[in-house]
Structure 1
């Protein structure tokens, strides 16, 4: 009986060590802040990296060998699909990027980096991982970080994967909140009628229309004045006929005399 109890305890210990249920860290993946450019697009979104959350030491691989992966699930079905498969050895060819969008439990995994690539240091700039940024591997790689379909309801989690010994997920984060990609609308479905416009749009439209009309009236008026003044403004200017040479007699003013031309008047007292 004692031997049976020891065997059961050993089995429980062996199953726990070998990661039947991955260790979960208290980290919820989230997209970047609102001021980050292109945080969510029609086919991509930017995630913050899980710094300081995957520093565990695994027995099956070193920090240079253990790998951090991102699980991208489409909807709740994809999330449940990964949760049911994470305790086994993962087959990336079965759960590939190419089949994720067509499977009812679609999810795929893409490699973020090795464990030692993300030390627990305070970064000077925000470090992000853009999901769906690689369009060159769409047809060839099952772990491609390819563009996501438009209008996708994505849920993601980071995992620490042992590629050497167990080939299983050993540590995992929590699931993110649903991330809705930018909605793509059909041009035919966009209603451009006047009644669908906001008050601000109506005011801006009226003001621009009035300014355009005033500018057009000013141009027409200036053009009309220019054309009507061409004939009136032209005048023939006749130069005066020369009257011949005019001779002006030289004279001296009565109160200004040159010393050389003055007349001597005799003094009666001499």
Structure 2
């Protein structure tokens, strides 16, 4: 059965969606539910765009073209998956990665290899459901998918491009203006610092030459004692002498 589904690269932004050796495909969810059962498998057919019209579906799994024959047969089949993995009820990953297995190229074709694509293409792909007795359903071919081209080392010019005279003149003018601005800024900063140092020096000199005159306090003169007083030992003050008492009788 030919289904109306057309495989495509996801239209949304995706890191590594198309590289020099791989590309991403949307999952064919809910596409084979009506035409397959649990024992069937779904394959991805990859072919060069100019060889897709001549591709013939293999009658059995033993006749599946392997990845290693891509240079001669211009097509191969890979990503063998049970049909139930693409059912509407099955949880699925976001995308399929074509060409993402770098370690399967030397296994002799025992299992379907999903090796890196050898050239930019373009390629066309389709999904093919196969049962025990051969193909059961298939999708339409995708639009041509062109991979990114790696930049060749010979295409890189090792010599830098010469700058025009206008660019050189503008560069010289900007350099001169930058130098003049730097000198002006340094001069202004130096003037401010020098003025600050001078003010500090003047303040210090004025303080050093400033004199202070103290008030002269004359020494205290001794005060005369009041009449009839005589000095006692220091700290006891003055007292008046007592008149002598009468002599005791004999």
TM range (shorter): 0.5 to 0.7
**Residues 51-130 of structure 1 mapped to structure 2, 5 A cutoff:** 51-57=29-35, 62-63=37-38, 65-77=39-51, 79-83=52-56, 86-91=57-62, 95-100=65-70, 102-103=71-72, 105-121=73-89, 127-130=94-97
TM normalised by structure 1 equals 0.60
**RMSD (CA atoms):** 3.9
**Residues 148-187 of structure 1 mapped to structure 2, 5 A cutoff:** 148-162=117-131, 165-166=132-133, 168-187=134-153
Structure 1 runs (4+) deviating above 6 angstroms are none
Aligned equivalents of 1:215, 1:43: Cα separation in 2: 52
Give structure 2 stretches of 5+ with no counterpart.
218-250
**Residues 131-146 of structure 1 mapped to structure 2, 5 A cutoff:** 131-140=98-107, 142=109, 143-146=112-115
Aligned equivalents of 1:177, 1:24: Cα separation in 2: 17
Tell me the CA shift for residue 170 of structure 1: 2.0
TM normalised by structure 2 equals 0.64
Tell me the CA shift for residue 151 of structure 1: 1.6
CA gap of 1:72–1:219, structure 2 versus 1, over 3 A, is farther
CA gap of 1:172–1:147, structure 2 versus 1, over 3 A, is same
| Structure with bigger gyration radius | 2
Counterpart in the other structure of 2:183: 221
Counterpart in the other structure of 1:32: 10
Tell me the CA shift for residue 55 of structure 1: 1.7
Which secondary structure state, in structure 2, belongs to the residue aligned with residue 117 of structure 1?
A: helix
Aligned equivalents of 2:95, 2:176: Cα separation in 1: 52
Count residues in correspondence. 201
Give structure 1 stretches of 5+ with no counterpart.
1-22, 196-204, 250-270
Tell me the CA shift for residue 228 of structure 1: 5.5
Counterpart in the other structure of 1:260: none
Which secondary structure state, in structure 1, belongs to the residue aligned with residue 77 of structure 2?
A: strand
Q: Is the 8 A contact 1:95 1:106 kept in 2?
A: no
